[in-house]
């Protein structure tokens, strides 16, 4: 019987455990079995591995991936065996109030998140650090155009789709934006905002090697190191006529929020994206928000239609922006421990793993 290769995570401080398990014999209506061609290590995975973020164990981590369909249940129109695909990082029911009334399927009452579930919850093939992943019937699956390489596509179903959600929610007449964080979310944000026609896109980070990538994605690099930032800050405020229209926090650092509030004009928009961990208590008063008439909104993941838009965005702009340079060439999945250590150095925006070469 064909089997799948999995890397099991048993908890912080414990090594990954390589196991094999049989593939499903049959698939029910709407279910899809995908052979993973490439997976990448997201920052949230690193938080789980380090213990900053709590999750059930044992588990198969990983939710960023691209692969080919090798098994398909009935009632999946538009898909065939052999299709190259990506998928939403969560499965939703489509009928509860969050799914239907609130248009927030990412907050479905019966949500199942890939890469965050115990191996005992369902098939066990629920994460991307494996040779195969079993997609439930409520998971949105998107075909990938042939001209988009695995390296371009692999983070799309997390980082890019999330930023599509974020950028699509900022006020329509936004002309100036500060992005706090020059990681993958920040660079995707620069490209999305540039294509939207935003005139001034300032991307702040403290790492020069990250800032060096910002112009290629349509942004203006801003050195956030203490010895350089005051002068850069003054230029932002001068060019934005005293305050920017929007600030997007994608660094996951709560200490940046007071500065973000200061950079906003009256009536500005603040999007919280990166602080998805417990170490995110804010130093912020209601008075600061009220007196500036600010709108603050949190973004956690995305809806299925955002993934459709993300794939289309890559298809339309792949010749314009160097997406492939953001992902390190893959290591074998059997070397996942080494890949995690490389990801923890933050030398690359994403480190990828492949089951076979």
pLDDT of 132-171, one tens digit each? Answer: 999 999 999 999 999 999 999 999 999 999 999 999 999 9
Same domain assignment for residues 67 and 116: yes
Q: Which of 257, 277, 298 is the last residue of a domain?
A: 298
Instruction: Assign 3-class secondary structure to the chain.
Output: CCEEEEEEECCCCCCCEEEEEECCCCCCCCCEEEEEEEEECCHHHHHHHHCCCCCCCCECCCCEEEEEEEEECCCCCCCCCCCEEEECCEECCCCCHHHHCCCCHHHCCCCEECCCCECCCCCCCCCCCECEEEECCCCCEEECCCCCCHHHHCCHHHHHHHHHHHHCCCCCCCCEEEEECCCHHHHHHHHHHHHHCCCEEEEEECCHHHHCCHHHHCCEEEECCCCCHHHHHHHHHHHCCCCEEEEEECCCCHHHHHHHHHHEEEEEEEEECCCCCCCCCCCCCHHHHHHCCCEEEECCCCCHHHHHHHHHHHHHHCCCCCHHHHEEEEEEHHHHHHHHHHHHCCCCCEEEEECCC
Residue in the block written with tokens 């019987």: 1
Same domain assignment for residues 32 and 146: yes
pLDDT in tens, 14-54: 999 999 999 998 999 999 999 999 999 999 999 999 998 88
Q: What is the pLDDT of residue 53?
A: 86
Mention every residue, 6+ apart, whose C-beta is less than 8 A from residue 156. Answer: 64, 66, 86, 307, 310, 311, 314
Q: Which of 275, 298, 321 is the last residue of a domain?
A: 298
Average of per-residue pLDDT across 211-216 = 98
Same domain assignment for residues 201 and 80: no
Q: What is the pLDDT of residue 122?
A: 82
Average of per-residue pLDDT across 209-234 = 98
Question: Does 45 map to a domain?
Answer: yes
Same domain assignment for residues 44 and 128: yes
Same domain assignment for residues 213 and 324: no
Give the span between the Cα atoms of 221 and 235, in whole angstroms: 12
Of 262, 260, 266, 269, nearest to 174 by C-alpha is 269
Same domain assignment for residues 270 and 331: no
Same domain assignment for residues 14 and 150: yes
Tokens of 289: 């928000």
Same domain assignment for residues 13 and 142: yes
Tokens of 60: 């198969």
Same domain assignment for residues 109 and 34: yes
Please check the confidence at residue 81 and state whether its pLDDT lies above 70: yes
Please check the confidence at residue 1 and state whether its pLDDT lies above 70: no
Please check the confidence at residue 341 and state whether its pLDDT lies above 60: yes
Give the span between the Cα atoms of 314 and 148, in whole angstroms: 8
Question: Does 147 map to a domain?
Answer: yes
Q: Which of 298, 319, 336 is the last residue of a domain?
A: 298
Provide the pLDDT confidence category of residue 277 given band limits of 50, 70 and 90: confident
Q: What own/partner pairs with CB < 8 Å and gap ≥ 24 does 109-115 have?
A: 112/136, 112/138, 113/63, 113/89, 114/62, 114/63, 114/87, 114/89, 114/90, 114/139, 115/45, 115/59, 115/60, 115/61, 115/62, 115/63, 115/89
Give the span between the Cα atoms of 145 and 156, in whole angstroms: 13
pLDDT in tens, 94-131: 999 999 999 999 999 999 999 999 999 888 899 999 99
Question: Does 164 map to a domain?
Answer: no
Question: Does 348 map to a domain?
Answer: yes
- The CATH number that applies at residue 34 is 3.90.180.10
145 or 242: which carries more pLDDT confidence? Answer: 145
What proportion of the chain, given as a percentage, has pLDDT over 70? Answer: 99
**Can you give the residue range of the structural domain that contains 343?**
3-158+302-354
Q: What is the pLDDT of residue 223?
A: 98
Contact 140, 87 (CB under 8 A): yes
pTM of the complete model: 0.96
- The CATH number that applies at residue 177 is 3.40.50.720
Same domain assignment for residues 326 and 307: yes
Question: Does 195 map to a domain?
Answer: yes
Question: Does 54 map to a domain?
Answer: yes
For the chain, what is the domain count?
2
Average of per-residue pLDDT across 276-298 = 95
Of 79, 72, 59, nearest to 17 by C-alpha is 59
Question: Does 37 map to a domain?
Answer: yes
Same domain assignment for residues 31 and 58: yes
Question: Does 267 map to a domain?
Answer: yes
Same domain assignment for residues 59 and 11: yes
Give the span between the Cα atoms of 295 and 268, in whole angstroms: 6
**Rg of the chain, C-alpha, whole Å:** 20
């Amino acid at each position: 019987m064909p089997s799948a290769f999995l890397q099991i995570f048993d908890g912080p401080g414990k090594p990954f455990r390589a196991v094999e398990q049989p593939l499903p014999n049959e698939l029910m209506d709407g279910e899809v079995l995908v052979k993973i061609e490439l997976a990448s290590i997201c920052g949230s995975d690193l938080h789980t591995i380090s213990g900053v973020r709590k999750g059930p164990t044992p588990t198969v981590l990983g939710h960023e991936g691209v692969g080919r369909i090798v098994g398909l249940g009935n009632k999946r129109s538009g898909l065939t065996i052999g299709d190259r695909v990506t998928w939403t990082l969560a499965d939703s029911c489509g009928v509860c109030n969050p799914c239907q009334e609130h248009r927030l399927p990412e907050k479905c009452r019966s949500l199942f998140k890939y890469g965050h579930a115990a191996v005992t919850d369902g098939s066990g093939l629920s994460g991307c650090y494996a040779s195969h992943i079993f997609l439930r019937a409520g998971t949105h699956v998107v075909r990938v155009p042939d001209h988009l390489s695995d390296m371009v596509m692999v983070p799309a179903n997390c980082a890019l789709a999330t930023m599509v959600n974020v950028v699509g929610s900022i006020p329509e007449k936004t002309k100036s934006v500060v992005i706090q964080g020059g990681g993958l979310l920040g660079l995707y944000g620069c490209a999305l905002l540039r294509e939207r026609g935003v005139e001034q896109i300032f991307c702040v980070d403290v790492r020069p090697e990250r800032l060096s990538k910002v112009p290629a994605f349509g942004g203006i690099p801003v050195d956030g190191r203490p010895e350089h930032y005051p002068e850069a800050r003054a230029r932002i405020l001068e060019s934005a006529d005293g305050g920017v229209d929007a600030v997007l926090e994608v660094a996951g650092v709560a200490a940046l929020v007071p500065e973000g509030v200061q950079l906003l004009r009256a009536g500005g928009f603040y999007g919280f994206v990166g602080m998805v961990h417990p170490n995110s208590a804010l130093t912020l008063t209601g008075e600061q928000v009220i007196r500036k008439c600010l709108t603050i909104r949190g973004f956690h993941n995305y809806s299925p239609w955002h993934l459709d838009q993300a794939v289309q965005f890559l298809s339309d702009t792949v010749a314009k922006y160097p997406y492939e340079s953001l992902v390190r060439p893959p290591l074998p999945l059997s070397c996942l421990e080494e890949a995690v250590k490389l990801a923890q150095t933050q030398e690359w925006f994403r480190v990828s793993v492949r089951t076979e070469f």
